[in-house]
Amino acid sequence: MVALVLLALISSVLYGSLSLSATSWDRGEAKAAQADDMRQTGEFLRQALAAEHPLRLHKAVDQPLYFAGATDSLAFAGATPGRVGGGIYYFRIALAPSGESSRLLLSRTIPDYSALKPPTFDGADASVLADGITQLKFSYFGRDPDANETVEPTWRDRWDDPQILPLLIRMDVKTAQGVMWPPLMVEPRIAPEAGCRGWDANRRRCVGS
């Protein structure tokens, strides 16, 4: 009887240890997957935004940029690598509902060079950058439209200047487990007049048609 009781106790301890090990292993794999998503997404976005293409709507008044910076989404023009087809696309980063959390999606569509406004993303191709995301926030560092360089730039939740890109773009992401990704900070490397047929330095606007 004593031997059976000891065997039962030992078995119980072993089962608990194995269960704890399995749980720890699963959590470790989940954390590793999240870290991989975070690393790959951050690296891709850093490269894409830093090398943003100065695509403009040349048929529209003042030739605004293909750029839309909101609190919960970011749209910009960029090039895809030659190994995946190449070409210039209009991208959007945003969340899409997926169960109790959301997916971080990268959508892309082909620009219409004769359009008067950027295309929508209805029916656009999309790739999942990360799963299990509950919060996505973009911030933009720069000046108000028409402000000169003597004005101190500030952070804001959206970007309203259609002619000039922000000096910095910041992305904050929170996972379903409550983990915050390290803030992604990117500096677009494009001169203000990029993509213009003519540039009015005083008004800081494109001119000509």
Angle subtended at Cα 48 by Cα 45 and Cα 49, rounded to the nearest 5 degrees: 80
d(CA 34, CA 40): 10
Which of 23-27, 146-150, 179-183 is modeled with the greatest confidence?
Answer: 179-183
Q: pTM for the full model?
A: 0.77
pLDDT tens for 52-66 read 778 888 888 888 999
pLDDT tens for 81-140 read 554 556 788 999 999 988 777 899 999 999 888 888 888 998 899 989 888 899 999 999
- Half-sphere exposure in the Cβ direction for 87 (13 Å, CA): 10
pLDDT tens for 187-206 read 887 777 777 878 887 777 88
In 3D space, the residue among 147, 165, 168, 163 whose CA is nearest the CA of residue 196 turns out to be 163
